[in-house]
Chain A
């Protein structure tokens, strides 16, 4: 079945970087965008950016410009989101989601908890 499986929980110190992976299966990886969305505890959903593995394009929301990098490997159908210069406010659950453009984010990963603490 179509699914996205993310890497496990991470604990990082302020100033460090974290790289979350998202492995796709059950569909053609290059046929869809992958979006990254995060959610702090008790808060709403926050879109971070998108990547298209076929066109080699990425787009990041201004808030994360310069701190986030989205990459992928088509050989293993895996997307990555790296966030640098971590601060306590980055503590959140990070989700990857498949996006068929006008069809919406129809498949989501299970989420990866990132905790930033000294």
Chain B
């Protein structure tokens, strides 16, 4: 069961800005870095954002991440048809049973 909550869907027209939220708690987002992954149907996830707001080489600067308290957000500016995919936030969670990596519930982005 995911401990990071995301909206199930988000949409926008080409060129628009879309924002995806990720809500957690003090044991995960509140005290650790947030990561974002992009996944197309039938393929492995791809790292999109690490350490809250850093982009790996090759990821367009249209993608940006932010974090505040126990929540985080992924913004896609200048939305393009090829951005239509599932997006997952993630973070380490400092649980009593030891550190666990937790993923968000996932958000399907549709380009209208």
Contacts and interface: CB of A to CB of B under 8 A. Distances in A.
Interface of A: 35, 37, 44-47, 50, 59, 61-62, 95, 97, 102-106, 108-111
B103 A47 contact: yes
B69 to A, nearest CB: 19
Interface stretch (B9-17, B18-26, B46-54, B72-80): B46-54
A102 B50 contact: yes
Contact of B44 (A44, A95, A102): A95
A106 B45 contact: no
Contacts of A103: 50-51
A23 B61 CA distance: 32
Nearest to B36: A104
Contacts, number: 57
B35 A44 contact: no
Interface of B: 2, 33, 35, 37, 39, 44-47, 49-51, 56, 88, 90, 97-106
Contacts of A44: 2, 88, 103-106
Contacts of B33: 102
Contacts of B90: 45, 47
B35 A105 contact: yes
A45 B44 contact: no
A6 to B, nearest CB: 10
A106 B51 contact: no
Given A44-B105, A45-B88, A110-B44, A104 B50 contact: yes
B44 A106 contact: no
A95 B45 contact: yes
Contact of A47 (B51, B98, B102, B105): B102
A108 B35 CA distance: 15
Choose among A45, A47, A109 the residue with the greatest number of B CB atoms under 10 Å from its CB.
A45
Contact of A105 (B2, B37, B100, B104): B37
A46 B103 CA distance: 7
